[in-house]
């Protein structure tokens, strides 16, 4: 077999890209052009890409070295989804450590030709050979049939480049499928929980772009709400009616309250008062979780807050009514301190 392309990549980098990008590939056999993962190859990078029309993704893998006998030129390698699963199953790598060996894979695109004999014409087929070259001696070898590149597969790097060129904006109202967003969660997990940075070019039907570190780009098309838009706006208005009127007065942030590890009962009571007033929810179970205390102690604290006039009386299994607004945490604490001082 004659090598058409040969290059070496890091095993971990290649695995991450395949795992993050493959969930975005089409599974509908009616659309064979996109039922695949395409690798765009040049002398510096392998860009792993996939789309199902609703989402798209790019994963960047650095090329470590190329073969002098088969210099890499711009080209593509198309792989089927079952083959991606085989690659991930066969080739694994250790953790990224400074003193760890360099886990590497050599990827070759090979062409096999059969000579014409009699009535049988000459034929050719493409094979992708992946070899573990991490050590001094080559390890596992996997031969996979390369799909014939389909001309209708979209130019995804160009698509992303076009959208990223536009200024970021914000769509007033759009819907996104939870299943599609879950694919971005997969990418974040694969790349070590890198934060996903979301942006939307300010245009109608513009996609949501997600960046995860410097190795992953994702794209999610928003759902056109159409006639349902009025009902979504009504839902938003209903929530706004339920929530307090926004105020310039500082509201205690939950991360300032949770996990303080109060050392005495007075501190626990004050922390509990801050929480129930800030979230407007007087529940023993909630205090138990937030303060890391027992349920009976949480109930006892609520009884003390009731005597101090911070919350109302117990109402069966329902949460107690909070007698101070979310913007008046300081007032609630002042009343609690006054009540505590009177008891002493």
Q: Tell me, yes or no, whether 166 and 144 share the same domain.
A: no
Q: Tell me, yes or no, whether 138 and 271 share the same domain.
A: no
Q: How far is CA 52 from CA 160, 168, 171, 183, 268, in A?
A: 15, 24, 23, 12, 53
Q: Tell me, yes or no, whether 84 and 170 share the same domain.
A: no
Choose one of 212, 227, 242: the last residue of a domain. Answer: 227
**Per-residue exposure over 64-91, b if at least 16 CB sit within 10 Å of its own CB, e if not:** eebeeebebeeebbbbbeebbeebeeeb
What pLDDT is stored for residue 160 in this prediction? 83
Q: Tell me, yes or no, whether 174 and 129 share the same domain.
A: no
Tokens for 179, please give them: 């299943």
Q: Which of 222, 226, 223, 228 is nearest to 210 (CA)?
A: 222
Please tell me the distance from the alpha carbon of residue 276 to that of residue 326, in angstroms, as a whole number.
9
Choose one of 153, 168, 203: the last residue of a domain. Answer: 153
Q: Tell me, yes or no, whether 31 and 139 share the same domain.
A: yes
Q: Which of 304, 265, 264 is nearest to 282 (CA)?
A: 304
Choose one of 134, 153, 172: the last residue of a domain. Answer: 153
| Mean pLDDT to the nearest integer, 298-310 | 90
What pLDDT is stored for residue 107 in this prediction? 92
Q: Tell me, yes or no, whether 148 and 190 share the same domain.
A: no
Distance from chain centroid for Cα 65: 30
Q: Tell me, yes or no, whether 60 and 106 share the same domain.
A: yes
Q: Tell me, yes or no, whether 99 and 210 share the same domain.
A: no
What pLDDT is stored for residue 84 in this prediction? 93
State how beta strands 208-212 and 141-145 pair: unpaired
What pLDDT is stored for residue 196 in this prediction? 59
What pLDDT is stored for residue 26 in this prediction? 92
* Number of structural domains found in the chain: 3
In this structure, is the dihedral angle defined by the CA atoms of residues 87, 88, 94 and 95, taken in order, positive or negative? positive
State how beta strands 2-10 and 141-145 pair: unpaired
Q: Tell me, yes or no, whether 211 and 279 share the same domain.
A: no
Q: Tell me, yes or no, whether 170 and 200 share the same domain.
A: yes
Please state, for a pLDDT cut of 90, what percent of the chain lies above it.
Answer: 20
Tens digit of pLDDT for each residue in 233-271? Answer: 565 566 556 555 554 444 444 444 444 444 467 888 888
Residue 15 confidence (pLDDT) above 70: yes
Please indicate, yes or no, if residue 161 is contained in any of the structural domains. Answer: yes
Please indicate, yes or no, if residue 236 is contained in any of the structural domains. Answer: no
The pLDDT-based confidence of 87 (bands split at 50, 70, 90) is very high
Please report, for the domain that includes residue 38, its CATH number.
3.10.150.10
Q: Tell me, yes or no, whether 149 and 177 share the same domain.
A: no
What pLDDT is stored for residue 218 in this prediction? 83
Domain around 216 = 157-227
Q: Are 111 and 4 spatial neighbours (Cβ–Cβ below 8 Å)? A: yes
Q: Tell me, yes or no, whether 16 and 131 share the same domain.
A: yes
Tens digit of pLDDT for each residue in 33-84? Answer: 999 999 999 888 899 999 998 889 999 898 888 776 665 556 899 999 999 9
């Amino acid at each position: 077999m004659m090598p058409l392309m040969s290059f070496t990549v890091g095993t971990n980098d290649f695995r991450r890209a395949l795992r993050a990008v493959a969930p975005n590939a089409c599974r509908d056999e009616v659309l064979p052009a996109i039922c695949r993962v395409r690798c765009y190859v040049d002398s510096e990078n392998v860009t792993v890409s996939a789309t199902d029309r609703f989402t798209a993704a790019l994963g960047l893998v650095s090329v470590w070295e190329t073969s002098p006998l088969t210099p890499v030129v711009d080209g593509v390698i198309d792989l089927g989804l079952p083959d991606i699963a085989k690659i991930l199953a066969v080739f694994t790598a250790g953790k990224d450590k400074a003193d760890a060996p360099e886990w590497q894979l050599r990827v070759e695109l090979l062409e096999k030709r059969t000579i014409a004999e009699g009535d049988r014409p000459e034929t050719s087929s493409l094979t992708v050979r992946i070899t573990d070259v991490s050590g001094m001696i080559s390890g596992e070898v996997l031969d996979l049939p390369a799909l014939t590149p389909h001309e209708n597969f979209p130019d995804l790097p160009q698509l992303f480049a076009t959208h990223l060129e536009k200024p970021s904006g914000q769509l007033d109202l759009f819907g996104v499928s939870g299943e599609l967003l879950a694919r971005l969660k997969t990418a974040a997990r694969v790349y070590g929980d890198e934060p996903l940075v979301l942006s939307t070019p300010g245009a109608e039907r513009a996609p949501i772009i997600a960046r995860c570190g410097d190795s992953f780009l994702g794209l999610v098309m928003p759902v056109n709400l159409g006639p349902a838009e009025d009902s979504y706006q009504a839902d938003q208005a209903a929530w706004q009616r339920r929530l307090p009127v926004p105020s310039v007065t500082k509201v205690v942030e939950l991360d300032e309250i949770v996990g303080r590890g109060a050392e005495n009962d007075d501190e626990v009571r004050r922390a509990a008062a801050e929480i129930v007033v800030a979230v407007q929810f007087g529940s023993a179970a909630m205090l138990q979780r937030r303060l890391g205390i027992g349920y009976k102690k949480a109930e006892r604290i609520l009884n003390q807050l009731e005597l101090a006039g911070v919350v109302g009386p117990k109402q069966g299994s329902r949460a107690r009514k909070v007698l101070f607004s979310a913007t008046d945490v300081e007032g609630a604490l002042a009343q609690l301190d006054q009540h505590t001082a009177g008891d002493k």
